[in-house]
């Protein structure tokens, strides 16, 4: 097992959970990230942050911490290099962001700690579009997608190719973004749901709003990733690989 920092976090259910945290540099560009794997992790969720944000987004960090307490591993990483983030054209280049996310998933697949775990994607703002484009491209490797205050409409034609169960979460006071999510919702393929958090604005700063997002996202990932196998596992079992 690769070395990392060990810590205990309070569990949502069963007391403290041991978590291994690793600072990573994702090839080929060396994108900075934080990979956290709780003991007996059941799944892995990779985060795609929104425009002008980074792996340090306090909202995504809070969601990731809550998933860790539910024994779901998480990867928070920068979709852009520091110098790229200074160019606003890159921030809204969702195709570029999707390519970075796809490359990251393929890197995760080679990781000894988490590569065999069922995978979900969590996207915020423009990162939601990147997550959906990546889900369409990766097919069965992605078991679930959640969008928080996202711009799924920017995924365009890729929406119809998304087979992974997708949850869109929008603030009830996020004027304009609700309509864009409804537009995208109608075009999504596969299982889907649209949840509106009453009174919440775009960043969900209102009391209880982000907690509502966390509950919805965690339930979605647990439902759709909890009994899912990595495609490699299923193929190996059907072939009888590993039998003596």
What average pLDDT score do residues 116-127 get?
Answer: 95
Count the Cβ atoms, other than its own, within 10 Å of residue 56: 12
Fold of 5-239: Rossmann fold (3.40.50)
pLDDT value at residue 233: 43
When the pLDDT of each residue in the chain is averaged and rounded to a whole number, the result is: 87
Q: For residue 235, give the 3-state DSSP assignment.
A: helix
Q: Which residues contact 105 (CB under 8 A, 6 or more apart)?
A: 46, 119, 134, 138, 141, 142
Residue with tokens 């009994």: 227
CA atoms within 13 Å, Cβ hemisphere of 147: 39
* pLDDT one-digit tens code per residue, 22-60: 999 999 999 999 999 999 999 999 999 876 667 888 889
* pLDDT one-digit tens code per residue, 213-233: 999 999 999 999 985 454 444
The answer to whether 67 touches 141, Cβ cutoff 8 Å, is no
pLDDT value at residue 54: 72
pLDDT value at residue 226: 80
* pLDDT one-digit tens code per residue, 12-22: 555 678 999 99
Banded model confidence at residue 93, pLDDT cuts 50, 70, 90: confident
The least confident of 41-50, 97-106, 235-244 is 235-244
State how far the Cα of 126 lies from the Cα of 47, in Å rounded to an integer: 12
Q: Which residues contact 215 (CB under 8 A, 6 or more apart)?
A: none
* pLDDT one-digit tens code per residue, 167-213: 999 999 998 999 999 999 999 988 999 999 999 999 899 999 999 99
Question: What is this structure's pTM?
Answer: 0.86
The answer to whether 153 touches 129, Cβ cutoff 8 Å, is yes
Quote the percentage of the chain above a pLDDT of 70.
82
Residue 3 has pLDDT above 80, yes or no: no
pLDDT value at residue 16: 78
Banded model confidence at residue 8, pLDDT cuts 50, 70, 90: low
């Amino acid at each position: 097992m690769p070395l990392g920092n060990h810590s205990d976090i309070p569990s949502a259910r069963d007391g403290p959970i041991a978590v291994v945290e690793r600072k990573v540099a994702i090839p080929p560009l060396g994108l900075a990230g934080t990979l956290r794997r709780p003991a007996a992790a059941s799944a892995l969720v990779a985060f795609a942050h929104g425009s002008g944000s980074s792996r340090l987004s306090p909202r995504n960090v809070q969601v990731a911490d809550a998933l860790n307490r539910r024994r779901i591993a998480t990867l928070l990483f920068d979709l852009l290099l520091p110098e790229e983030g200074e160019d606003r054209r890159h921030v809204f280049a969702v195709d570029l962001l999707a390519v970075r996310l796809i490359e990251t998933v393929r890197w995760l697949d080679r990781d000894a700690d988490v590569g065999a775990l069922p995978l979900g994607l969590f996207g915020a703002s423009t990162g939601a579009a990147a997550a959906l484009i990546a889900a369409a491209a990766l097919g069965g490797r992605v078991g679930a997608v959640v969008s928080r205050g996202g711009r799924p409409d920017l995924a365009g034609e890729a929406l119809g190719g998304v087979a992974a169960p997708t949850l869109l979460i929008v603030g009830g006071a996020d004027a304009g973004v609700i309509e864009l999510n409804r537009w995208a919702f109608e075009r999504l393929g596969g299982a889907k749901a649209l949840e509106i958090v009453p009174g919440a604005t775009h960043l969900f700063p209102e009391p209880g709003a982000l907690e509502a997002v966390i509950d919805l996202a965690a339930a979605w990932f647990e439902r759709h990733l909890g009994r899912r196998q990595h495609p490699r596992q299923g193929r190996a079992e059907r072939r009888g690989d590993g039998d003596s």
